[in-house]
Chain A
Amino acid sequence: MIILFCVTWREGAPPLEGGLELVEEGDLAMVVGPEPTTTNRDDALVFGRTVERIAGEVDVLPFRYGTTAADTEEARGLLREHGRGWAARLQKVEGCAELALRASPPPAPQERAASGADHLNRLVSRSRRIDAAEGEVADLLTGRCRVVRRLTGHEELRLSCLVERPAFERVRSVLEEWAGRRDDLVVSVTGPWAPYSFVADGEEAGVVL
């Protein structure tokens, strides 16, 4: 078995090392490597860092960790089967990297709420601060990102931003300056990452700011 790292353009594909191999088909190429013999977090990190190293040189569509194929022939078959869609997605992320932003109020104090109403008020206050933060960040990002996705289902503001690489550090600076003014929030800005959040089916659900 081999593990699939990412898809990139055949032309300009970077030289590989460390057991990695390039599987080519049409205009595309796939970076593959030996499947890890263990399942642990370090393996996942090695996978991620490998993809990041390649993404630092060329545009890529990273695979989700754990995507495997029987051999390089099967990988080539996947390129034939999905090539058109993957090429279209590569064009969408061309020249871009992903920036990740998290913002949330500091953890609530541990003392018990005085009442049910007090507890609800705390939750409402926290939610309002997150909503307000989203509005401020949306204003800051307008015109600066190709696509912004808000990840839902958690108690913090989490955004994935598809940013053109030449503008990346400027966008980071804008957000970090904003974070410096918001001492009522815990904010983190990380990246550049390979465009993990903008390559799967359904990424069109992201909000363009």
Chain B
Amino acid sequence: MSELSVAADDVALIDLLDRVIGEGVVIGGDIVLSIAGVDLVYLGLRAVLAPAHVAGPGAIGDALADARGDAL
């Protein structure tokens, strides 16, 4: 539709990441989500880690760019 249109596969990728990171069962309130010793809550790249609807406008593009990269 527009020059900023996102390919369907990319949208699906973002939707999957949104769910993996921002939804799902959370055990208790004191459990810190972490991988490889890195606390996911405190990583600075919210647009990357947070779901798009939490991170706000622009997050989709950022997330997409990072989805094509390697590191969080």
Q: Are A107 and B2 touching (Cβ within 8 A)? A: yes
Total A-B residue pairs with C-beta atoms closer than 8 Å?
139
A168-209 vs B, CB cutoff 8 Å, 1 = contact: the mask equals 000000000000000100101011011011011100000000
- In the assembled complex, the Cα of A41 lies from the Cα of B71 at a distance in Å of 6
Chain A residues whose CB sits within 8 angstroms of the CB of B43 once the complex forms? 39
Category for how many chain B residues contact A: 35 or more
- In the assembled complex, the Cα of A41 lies from the Cα of B38 at a distance in Å of 13
Q: Are B27 and A78 touching (Cβ within 8 A)? A: yes
CB distance from A133 to the nearest CB of B (A): 14
Closest-by-CB residue of B relative to A183 is B1
Main secondary structure of the interface of A (DSSP, over half): mixed
Interface residues of B in 20-58 (CB under 8 A from A): 20-27, 31, 33-36, 38, 40, 43, 48, 52-54, 56-57
Category for how many chain A residues contact B: 35 or more
Residues of B within 8 A of A (CB): 1-2, 4-6, 8, 11-13, 15-27, 31, 33-36, 38, 40, 43, 48, 52-54, 56-57, 66-67, 69-72
